[in-house]
Each structure stands twice: as C-alpha cells, then as structure tokens.
Amino acid sequence: MDSHGQYGQQVVWTVVGTDIGPLLLAATRDGLVNVVFHATGAARDRALERLAARLGTEPVEAPGSPLLTEAIRQVEAYFAGRGHDFDLPLDWSLISGFNRRVLRELASGVPYGEVVGYGDLACRVGRPGAAQAVGMAMGANPLPVVVPCHRVVESDGGIGGFGGGVDTKRRLLALEGVLPEPLF
C-alpha cells in the first residue's frame, strides 16, 4: 500500500519534443521505465497499451509529475548539447536476464561520444560470440537514448540497425560527434 492508501504501481508519462521527433517518457516510483520514439497517434497509443499490460496499471499522462521532471530536464539538455550523461533512477522491470545485463553494461561502460561493437559488448558481459544476442538486446531496450543503444555499431564499421530507425541513429551519433551532421 502506498502513502495514499492505494495498492499497485503508478505509471506516469509525457511526450517531449526533440530533434529526432517526439519521445514518450514513462516513469514509475522506481525511475524512468520507458522511452519510445515517434510517440504520436497510434504509435503512442500502442506504447501505452503495452506499458499497461506489462506493468498492470493504466499509465496516466502527467507532464508535471515529479517522477518525470528530472528525466525531461536531462533529455532536453542532451538534445541541446548541454548534457552528455544521464543520471536518472531507472526502473529495469521491463527487461531481464541477459538483455538487462547487456544494457546495464552499455549504460555504465560506453560514454557519450564513443561507440562499441556488438561483439565487444558481448565479451564485456562474458559471452564472447554472442554478438547477435547483443543485437537482440539492443532491439529490446525499453530505455533508448538514456540507455544508449545507438552507440552500438557493427565491427566492420557499419552503423547497424536501430529501433528508432537508422536515420535517427545517425542523428544521435552526429549529436555526440561520432558521425558528421547529416546534410539533410
């Protein structure tokens, strides 16, 4: 039971405009739980339905919620080029096992402006040869941008895939100085 005499998880959300389009940010009392690209219309509604199903409660739109205030501030600073690191409590409840281990290593071990190969990241978590599984973990990342799956690239220099789209990945890497700014 919480301090208001209610049972269950509270999930709040808002949409923040960014240079890569609208991002949905959702948080629980434990921290930021989900970041969703292209969060308008049907994509936003599907994301909220998935959150409700996974967390067992209906997310509430609450842009002024104290649970979201710092996440909004840090996302805005990142896209303005003023913030290089996210220092937020994260709720890892949407991911587990190997995927969680990989994403935690990525979040703590690959700083702003650097990239890592899928295979190298697999080695860092003690699973050499699991580059494809690392790619699957990146695709399952519930906290993109904040947990920087855009920093994972192919060993041959290719950019690799990205749940937000390859153009979005290029723009994020350009923002961090890894790639030149796209011409258009």
DSSP lists the bridge partners of residue 16 as 23
Tokens linked to 74: 């840090």
| Angle of helix 97-109 versus helix 131-139 axis, rounded to 10 | 90
What integer pLDDT is reported at residue 179 of this predicted model? 84
pTM above 0.85, yes or no: yes
Identify the weakest region by mean pLDDT among 77-81, 157-161, 174-178: 157-161
- Whether the pLDDT of residue 5 is over 50: the answer is no
What integer pLDDT is reported at residue 18 of this predicted model? 96
The confidence band for 182, taking pLDDT boundaries of 50, 70 and 90, is low
What integer pLDDT is reported at residue 9 of this predicted model? 72
Active-site residues, by number, are 149
Kindly report the CA angle at 27 between 62 and 140, in degrees rounded to 5? 130
Q: What is the mean pLDDT of residues 46-71?
A: 96
The confidence band for 63, taking pLDDT boundaries of 50, 70 and 90, is very high
Residue 15 buriedness (CB in 10 A; 0-12 / 13-18 / 19+):
middle
Tokens linked to 12: 């709040």
Locus of tokens 């948080």 = 27
Q: What is the pLDDT of residues 133-147, one digit of tens each?
A: 999 999 999 999 999
The confidence band for 183, taking pLDDT boundaries of 50, 70 and 90, is low
Do 24 and 15 touch, CB atoms closer than 8 A?
A: yes
Using CA atoms, how far apart are residues 84 and 158, in angstroms rounded to an integer? Answer: 24
What integer pLDDT is reported at residue 8 of this predicted model? 58
Using CA atoms, how far apart are residues 22 and 3, in angstroms rounded to an integer? Answer: 33
Tokens linked to 57: 């409660």
